[in-house]
Each structure stands twice: as C-alpha cells, then as structure tokens.
Structure 1
Amino acid sequence: MAIEPLAIGVCSWSLQVKSVAELKAFLDRLGVDVVQIACGDPHHASWDEGDDLPTAAKAAGFRMSGSMLGFPGEDYTTPLTIEKTGGFGDPTTRAQRIERFQWGLQRTTALGLSDIMLHAGFIPEVGDDARSSFLHTLAHVSDLAQRVGVTVAFETGQESSKLLRQTLDDLQCSNLKVNFDPANMLLYDKDDPLEALELLAPDIRSVHLKDANRPTVKAQWGEEVPLGRGQTNTKLFVKALQKSGYRGPLCIEREVGTQEERFRDIEHGVKFLRECLAS
C-alpha cells in the first residue's frame, strides 16, 4: 500500500511487541498505520508468528515502510562495545553476518517490501588499512540486495556524516542509501543533525525520529529523551527535511523505558510531530 509523503509511523521494536496482533492494537491506539517492521532478530524483537510473520503482517491492515535488521552478538552496552561488535565491522563475524543479511533480504521480500535498514558498523576512516575490505563487504551487500530488488539504507550515527558521504560516493552503488536518525548523531556524539541532513539529503531513503542530548562524559552514551525535549531541535529538523525534498515517512523510534513508558512517549511524539507538520 502506498504511503503518503511525511506520513507519521512507528518502529515496531520500540513498542516491544511480540506479535502482529499486539502491534496492530498499539498502532490503532496511536491512530497511525505506518510501521517500519523488525525482521525478527534478537536485537529488534522476535515474533510469535515465526516464519509466518510475512503472511500475518500483510493481512493485518497496516502499511510497512521497510524492514529493520540487527545482528546476533551486537552489544550496545557502551559506544565502545558496539564499535567492536556492530554491523560488518569485525572481519571475523562478516561471513556469519552476510548469511544473516541474506536471511533478512528473504524476509524483506516475503513481506512485500523493497527496503531494508541496518547499521553497517563503524566505517573506517579514509586512509585506514581496514577501509578497503570494509567497503568491499558493503559492495557485496549491495550486490546481494540488488539481485532481489532491495534498497539498503545504512542508519546514521556511528560515523560522521562526512565519512558516510565519502563512503557512499566511493562505493557508487545505486541501492545503498541512508536511514537518517538525527538523535543517533547526538547519542554517539558524532555530528550536528542539521548539517548532516544537508550533506546526506540526496541519499536519505528513510528516517527515524527520536530526540537526545549529547553525552556529558566522553565515551559514554548521550541521553535519549521524548521528541521535542532534547538537542535535536525536532521542529527545525522536520522543516529542513521537508525543504530537502524528502518524501518518505517519519517513523518514531523510542529505545528506553518500559513498554508502557515507551508507548506514552511515542503517543506524545505522534502528537508533537503532527503539530510540527501543521506549522
């Protein structure tokens, strides 16, 4: 089902749901029907439906903007632990991660979707000896996805926008894009979201909307907060996003708190985003 430009949606894992029926009930309570759906990995929630997830999700009546894939073994305890364990960064886990990515592609196409989002891992800087093999892996990811008509959007935050821009330019793979998360840039203390938006705008395929404050202690996480209450400047970000020509959905993500607290904060976020778009 088509999704209108800047439709407000939710990331399924933020609601900590375990079944399609539970997800649909939460979406109905929120008054939205757009969702970016977890493939069903350990980090982004497993599904009671198991292999029947695609059939159940397609019959549920909500609209899906894309899938999200995480990898077993990713450790988000601190920025340092995820730097060591995230995405395709560790050469010793790449073969396993590629296999998991291929599974994610199968799940994505079974859901009737053409977009998959993931963290690529901490991209090595230009001049780093590890960069060549890392880019070779990302090119392989692109090729695997292209064979089944899928676009891969790398989520922002674990590198500067300049490095991500350089990497996309170096790769020149038409199906490698950006899943833009302004709060991640603050949580990782990597970049300014508005400056990054301008640099990455041509390749922004999808957006996660959450808010955060930068860390006060180096090498520690920043603080994730409800939309409009942090340093992301969500109102200005949404206006800049509109001006950039972005026409995809705005999927709210909330990754801290109990299920009840997350729902409350997402409910606030839906209302807040509607006010931002109305103004």
Structure 2
Amino acid sequence: MNVGVLIRMEKNVEEKFKELIDMGMNSCQLVSWNEEDFTIENADIINAAVKKYDINITAFWCGWSGPVTWDFYEGPITLGIVPRAYRFARIETLKRGSDFAKLIGIRDIVTHAGFIPENPRETNYYETVAALKQIVQKCKENEQNFLFETGQETPVTLLRLIEDIGESNVGINLDPANLIMYGKANPVDSLEVFGKYVMGVHGKDGIYPIDGKNLGKEVPLGQGKVDYPKFVAKLKEIRYQGDITIEREISGEKQKEDIKLAKSILEKLL
C-alpha cells in the first residue's frame, strides 16, 4: 500500500501535482464536480502534467450537478442517483465522467450513489439498481471499474446493492470516516461484510453524529474515532493492495499540515 492525496481538478492542476511531489508522494485521486471540465483540452493538460511529475492517478472521483446537502434530512432527497428528480441528469454526467477518465487513462470511477434504500422491496431501490447498471455498463465499455464511496448506507445495504447489480467491474472506495460520520458502521467491522469488494481507500477521520439531523464532524487523521492501527491491520489481513488516499476537507495551510500529519501516521502503520 502507498499513501496518496485527493486532488481537486482545477486550472492549476500542475501546481497541485508539484505540491504532491514536494510532500513526498506521487499517488492521488482526482476529483471534479464540474462537468464543463470534462474536455479533451483538460485531458491533454493533465496527461502532460502526469508525465512531467510521474504521477499515478488511481481514481477519478466524479461529482454531479444539482442540489447537494450533507445532512440526514435534505441529504436523502438531494444526494446521488437515488432522488428521482435528478437521476437522469446525473447518470449522463457520470457517463461523461467515465469517458473523460478514459482520456487520462484512469480505470476507477468513484462517486456517492446517495442514501440507498435499506428495504430491497422498495420501488426506488429497484429503480436505483437499474440506473446504476447503466453507469456500470458504461464503465465496462471503457474498461473501468465503478466504485461506491461509502457513507450514506450501511455495509450490508451496499453489499446487497453490489450483488444485485451483478457485474464484475463494481467495487468500493472505502472512506472509513464517512461510516463514522454518518453513524453507519465501525470501519474495521465493515471489512468483514464487504472487504472483498474494496478497491480504494480514503485516509480520513471523523467523529460520530451527536444529533439526529447533522453528520458527525471530520477531524484530522488520528484525532477521530477511526482506529487506524486496527483498520490498517485489517486491510493487510484481507490483502488489500491499493493505495490509501488522504482526504482532508478543508483548505489552506492547515489542510497541508494535516495531510503531512496523516502521511506520517499512515506510513508508520504501513
């Protein structure tokens, strides 16, 4: 396992790659929520920067348009593929994201699918499975894997969803902090449920929710409820071979400091 960083796809992506190298890493996941950035011109810029700095982009984290609210009340009706009102447009965005990722040689596409219904008999569950099959098929055509970012669903719900999609190019990008922040599971225990599907991992930390409306808070790695010594040991036990990509959802110098701290903690465990 190597340690990398989540990088936002911005106009100064070459500068971001240089910062990555300066921090002693060459692995990253690339993230974009702006479909207008999915152009051949941007692909050429990224490919040139990757070659210049010898960067390994392990996944493309593809966002989507429309309202986004990260809580327990508005979240279920705004996030991902589950809400009917935004489903079609987001399917098309993720398909275009897959095509863009192909231009830069990325094989794993990651996103949040939303608050997956826990009742497999619910009509919207069937509809969500059918919608996701379209995206998964597009990824298969582009020789890519489609990965679910964890958080908004329990591990067994995600396991059932993957089984019901029934394709070999479906997996999980495990964000252990999200499982804590959404109050869904202990990340170490989650690997007992869906460990065989984990193809990517985020290095992030958080605390449990303290009320019924808002998510728990993200905190610097090592200061939250993710037991990283046990978590990394479990990843080794299941023979996970991918990278751990640090995600710190703040900006500025404090973000850089926290990333460096997370890198130090993770490298000792690895």
Q: TM-score range by the shorter chain?
A: over 0.9
Identity, in percent, stands at: 29
1:82 to 68, 75, 91: 75
C-alpha displacement of 1:18: 4.2
Partner of residue 95, structure 1? 88
Q: Aligned AA for 2:5?
A: V
Does the 8 A contact of 1:228 with 1:235 survive in 2? no
The letter for the 2-side match of 1:59 is: K
| Amino acid aligned to 2:194 | L
* 2:97 match: secondary structure: helix
How far off its partner does 1:215 sit? 1.3
Task: Decide which moves more: 84-93 or 180-189.
Answer: 84-93
Query: In 2, distance between residues paired with 1:199 and 1:181?
Result: 15
1:46 to partner: Cα distance: 9.3
Tell me which residue corresponds to 2:246.
252
Kept after mapping to 1: 8 A contact 2:82/2:124: no
1:153 to 124, 147, 154: 147
Which 5+ residue runs of structure 1 have no aligned equivalent?
Answer: 1-5
Measured in 2, the distance between the counterparts of 1:170 and 1:195 equals 22
Per-residue CA deviations over 1:62-112 (Å, capped at 9, x if unaligned) read 111111101122413423333211111111222211211121011111111
- Preserved CA contact (<8 Å) 1:12 1:35: yes
From 46, 52, 70, give the equivalent of 2:63: 70
Measured in 1, the distance between the counterparts of 2:126 and 2:243 equals 34
Name structure 2 gaps, 5 residues minimum: none
Structure 1 residue aligned with 2:110:
117
Q: Counterparts of 2:11 and 2:213 in 1: how far apart (Å)? A: 33
Considering only aligned residues, what root-mean-square deviation do their CA atoms show, in Å? 2.0
Match of residue 138, structure 2, among 131, 144, 149: 144
> 2:148 and 2:167 mapped to 1: Cα distance?
13
1:201 positional shift: 0.8
With over 3 angstroms needed to count, the CA separation of the structure-2 counterparts of 1:25 and 1:122, relative to structure 1, is same
Aligned to 1:32, the other structure's residue is in SS state coil
- Separation in 2, partners of 1:79, 1:195: 23
Question: Is 2:250 the partner of 1:268?
Answer: no
Over residues 121-154 of structure 1, what are the superposed CA-to-partner deviations in whole Å (9 max), with x where a residue is unaligned? 1111222221111111111111111111110000
Give the Å deviation of 1:50.
Answer: 3.7
Counterpart-to-counterpart distance in 2, 1:155 and 1:77 = 14
TM-score for both structures, normalised by structure 2? 0.92
**Residues 241, 105 of structure 1: alpha-carbon distance in 2 compared, 3 angstrom cutoff:** same
